[in-house]
Amino acid sequence: MHPAYSVILFTTASGAGYGLLAWLAVGAVSGVLPLERWLGLVGFGLALGLITAGLLSSTAHLGRPERAWRAFSQWRTSWLSREGVMAVATYIPAGFLALGWVVFHQVMAISAVLTVLCAIGTLYTTGMIYASLRTIRHWYQPLTAPIYIVLGLASGAVLFNALLHTFGFVSVVLTWIAIALLAGGALLKVSYWRAVDTSEKRYTVEMATGLGHLGKVRPLEPPHTQPNFVMREMGYTIARKHAEKLRALVLMLGFAAPAAATLLTLIPAPLAGLAGSLLAVPAMAAGLLVERWLFFAEAEHVSMLYYGVDAA
């Protein structure tokens, strides 16, 4: 599949935003953090800003962005529609939570719980958009949606850790949670890649044409004299050797480097903790951008069976 940069930005930015929003809610309702006004203002501003920027960037991938509102009506059958509904719904409890934190210095537990549930629910619906597509073997995997949730919470925890150290707060528990989520995300990605590499290619050109009973099927001539939209968007491929290098880069930048930088925050020195927490953010961001790009670039669509691919 051709990687759409608007969707890559959306899934990366909004995922981190929802993760940060969830951890802000957990910190508020658990009482482990002081409801300091500037901490809440910057935290919620960053989380909601990332979410909003991601959602707006996703419309750039649409042919008619002005009709995007119509997708909300199909929530009964469409995961894309459910994602839109959940994304908008999340603003309501998050808004009450931010208002209570910043203005009144107290939060209602129900708003915090609903914020966490809506944030995780939105991450799940985003993952299910891809996990529900039978036509793309790389996405039609049971690990696709859980990976979206874990990566969102992990990137949010890394952001939250940097935010706390910037304002002079230290949470050892959050530090270990962030490291555990990074380790879990790496394990899930490795398991996902292994499942993709070893899973059987179920669809063949014989199945696509319905001529399998006659024997091996091969095209006599290409279906088009020049590349068309389907070939450009669905037929994008990446060499195996490049994919392996990018996978290693994802593990290094997206998981190992942020985890190592986050470990520095356990050093009993304010500057070391601040430097480590801040270094983890760009490393995680770069790794997730590569991971999202690779997620699309490696995907094989069954429509390519009509363009010379033997199986998908």
Please, where are the H alpha helices in the chain? 5-30, 37-58, 79-99, 109-131, 144-166, 172-198, 205-209, 229-234, 240-249, 257-263, 270-297
Can you give the residue range of the structural domain that contains 295?
5-307
Q: How far apart are the first and last CA of the chain?
A: 12
pLDDT value for 66: 67
CB 109 within 8 A of CB 116: no
List, run by run, the mean pLDDT of 10-residue segments along the chain (312 residues): 84 95 92 84 95 84 69 84 93 95 88 96 96 93 96 96 90 91 97 92 81 80 76 80 93 96 87 91 96 92 82 78
pLDDT value for 193: 96
Q: Which two tokens stand for residue 9?
A: 């930005």
Task: Look at residue 312 and tell me if it is in a domain.
Answer: no
pLDDT value for 225: 74
Q: Residue 142's domain is classified under what CATH number?
A: 1.20.1630.10
Half-sphere exposure of 230 (CA within 13 A, CB side): 9
CB 11 within 8 A of CB 148: yes
pLDDT value for 194: 96
What Rg value do the Cα atoms of the chain yield, rounded? 22
Give the CA angle between residues 69, 70, 75 to the nearest 5°: 105
pLDDT value for 266: 87
Half-sphere exposure of 267 (CA within 13 A, CB side): 15
Q: Which two tokens stand for residue 229?
A: 């939209």
pLDDT value for 151: 97
Give the CA angle between residues 95, 98, 103 to the nearest 5°: 120
What is the domain count for the chain?
A: 1
pTM of the model: 0.91
The torsion angle over the Cα atoms of residues 180, 186, 189 and 191, rounded to 10 degrees, is -90
pLDDT value for 65: 67
pLDDT value for 301: 87
Rounded to an integer, what distance in angstroms lies between the CA atom of residue 172 and that of residue 254? 21
